[in-house]
Chain A
């Protein structure tokens, strides 16, 4: 039997309707918005990496360059920028830690370490690291 000559049951061949995603999709659900904010933290992380690089440059360029750089840092614009960066950086850290358990499944024999415990562990380590860095820098 050939199928080619098989007459269609009715002339009709339906079209599919393909919905389009709106440009504003990320605005339509709170969780999407939080996601986009989380992704945008990367812009600030990158910005800070550049600032840190400039800081090192200034540090390496001698005492005068360093105090110039400090003055720059003290400008209100720079302070404001750092505040924003800090906000996003902390959001980045928190979201990163809260998602860490998704990739990490710790199983000790029959016991699976609950995700919450892993998140808490991350936060604790984060705080310890931060204190350590602060101590090293500030006790100079």
Chain B
């Protein structure tokens, strides 16, 4: 047995978890917060009560995971799609750096945001 030189399984794990999370939960959030509420399909809940809801410990964890995993999911896919569309192996390293880097920054920012909510 040898240690793998390849970190793709590492990123793939997050990609997979993110895929599950985002496929189950992203559409409803888009629908609610992006369309239903702004377009007034429903009464706006008060700012206060929404904030209260978001501050619930479970909600904090949930929101953090949703954002962070979605970012990692997307980072992995975007990296591979760039490679597939540009037919260039040379872009893979920089693309990986940018994609995963972006996801990590986003995750840290999400952590702070959720923590300080």
Q: Pick from A36, A66, A86, A134: contact of B35, CB below 8 A.
A: A86
Size bin of chain A's contact surface: 35 or more
Q: Does B38 contact A (CB under 8 A)?
A: yes
* A69 to B84 alpha-carbon distance, docked (Å): 37
A 34-60 binary contact with B (CB < 8 Å = 1; else 0):
001001111101101111110111011
Q: Does A137 contact B (CB under 8 A)?
A: yes
Minimum CB–CB distance from B65 to chain A (whole Å) comes to 11
Q: Given A26-B84, A45-B70, A52-B66, is A57 in contact with B77 using a C-beta cutoff of 8 Å?
A: no
A 72-92 binary contact with B (CB < 8 Å = 1; else 0):
011000110111011001101
| Structural contact, A60 and B87, CB atoms closer than 8 A | no
| Structural contact, B23 and A56, CB atoms closer than 8 A | no
| Structural contact, B70 and A46, CB atoms closer than 8 A | yes
Minimum CB–CB distance from A82 to chain B (whole Å) comes to 3
Q: Does A117 contact B (CB under 8 A)?
A: no
Q: Does B4 contact A (CB under 8 A)?
A: no
| Structural contact, A53 and B34, CB atoms closer than 8 A | no
* A45 to B78 alpha-carbon distance, docked (Å): 11
| Structural contact, B47 and A66, CB atoms closer than 8 A | yes
Chain B residues 53-103 with CB under 8 Å of chain A are 53-54, 63, 66-67, 70-71, 73-78, 80-81, 84-87
| Structural contact, A79 and B24, CB atoms closer than 8 A | no
| Structural contact, B74 and A49, CB atoms closer than 8 A | yes
| Structural contact, A60 and B110, CB atoms closer than 8 A | no
Q: Which residue on A lies nearest to B48, using beta carbons?
A: A63
Q: Does A1 contact B (CB under 8 A)?
A: no
* A126 to B70 alpha-carbon distance, docked (Å): 16
Minimum CB–CB distance from B10 to chain A (whole Å) comes to 17
Q: Which residue on A lies nearest to B42, using beta carbons?
A: A138
Minimum CB–CB distance from A93 to chain B (whole Å) comes to 4
| Structural contact, B71 and A46, CB atoms closer than 8 A | yes
Please give the residue numbers on chain B whose beta carbons come within 8 Å of chain A beta carbons, in ascending order: 19-20, 22-35, 37-39, 42, 44-51, 53-54, 63, 66-67, 70-71, 73-78, 80-81, 84-87, 106, 109-110, 113-114, 116-117
Please give the residue numbers on chain A whose beta carbons come within 8 Å of chain B beta carbons, in ascending order: 21, 23, 25-26, 36, 39-43, 45-46, 48-53, 55-57, 59-60, 63, 66-67, 70, 73-74, 78-79, 81-83, 85-86, 89-90, 92-93, 96-97, 125-126, 129-130, 133-134, 136-138, 140
